[in-house]
A and B are shown apart, each in its own frame.
Chain A
Amino acid sequence: MSISFDRALGAHPQALQLRLTRAGLLSNNLANVDTPNFKAKDIDFAAEMQRVKQPFQHSTATRLKYRLPYQPSADGNTVELNVEQAAFAQNSMDYQMSLTFLKMKFSGLRSAIEGK
């Protein structure tokens, strides 16, 4: 009788990986806040989680979407600092939350193994 870590940990490892990918994208946007003609990108997290949870053999790559700016800009750069900073902060908190859930799952497994 073996422990299936896949089923025990649920969707949290994939969520963590996706959060990290999104953090990379958002930090990309923040780094290019002054580059002319740079278009801000993001992913739809809910849709991506749905796609990851279904075990397709040939699942497509993560779909990248472009951010619609609130205001036009003279040099073609669509990065808006407040929008991107808020998204990055929210994503960091969600990452910490996923990490906390994962930690709780591991401690639950450990107490089950130790028989406490």
Chain B
Amino acid sequence: MAFTDIFRISSSAMTAQTVRLNTIASNMANADAASASEETVYKARRPIFASVYQNSQLASNNALAGARVQIVDVVETGHALQRYEPHHPMANSQGYVYYPDINVVEEMADMMSASRGFETSAEVLSSVKSMQQSLLRLGEA
């Protein structure tokens, strides 16, 4: 597996963790966004991770295919909850206002996991970069 493959794998991991942090940030920002109906209220979003195996390696009978990470989709997995606030300007006819069901503590834990994954990939990238630089210095006098 050449150096370019390793760079590509690590950079894909960093991209995927960044997208994950993006969804976490938007979940946390919209945690208190009220809405008049259940269809229009913000629902918590989650990314879906998947491994993408390199086809060229599989074709050459080499089992050492590297797998990049890819965010396949960002889906809405949350629900809406309703609170009884008859004096709210967005209350519907029964007096209920819809809020997204987002647990901020859960989002913070997810954020820590995502930043740890990002830092790991950054470490791998810098380590492999120094390996390649040492290799280039091999031929020097």
Q: Chain A: residues with CB nearer than 8 A to chain B?
A: 16, 20-21, 23-25, 27-28, 30-36, 38, 61-64, 81, 85, 88-89, 92, 95-96, 99, 102-103, 106
Contact = CB atoms under 8 A, between A and B. Distances in A.
Contact of B135 (A25, A31, A33, A99): A99
A28 B5 CA distance: 9
B51 A20 contact: no
Interface of B: 1-3, 5-6, 9-10, 12-13, 16-17, 20, 49-51, 61-64, 66-69, 113-114, 116-117, 120-121, 123-124, 127-128, 131, 134-135, 138-139
Contacts of B1: 20-21, 23-25
A96 B61 contact: no
Nearest to B61: A61
A30 B138 contact: no
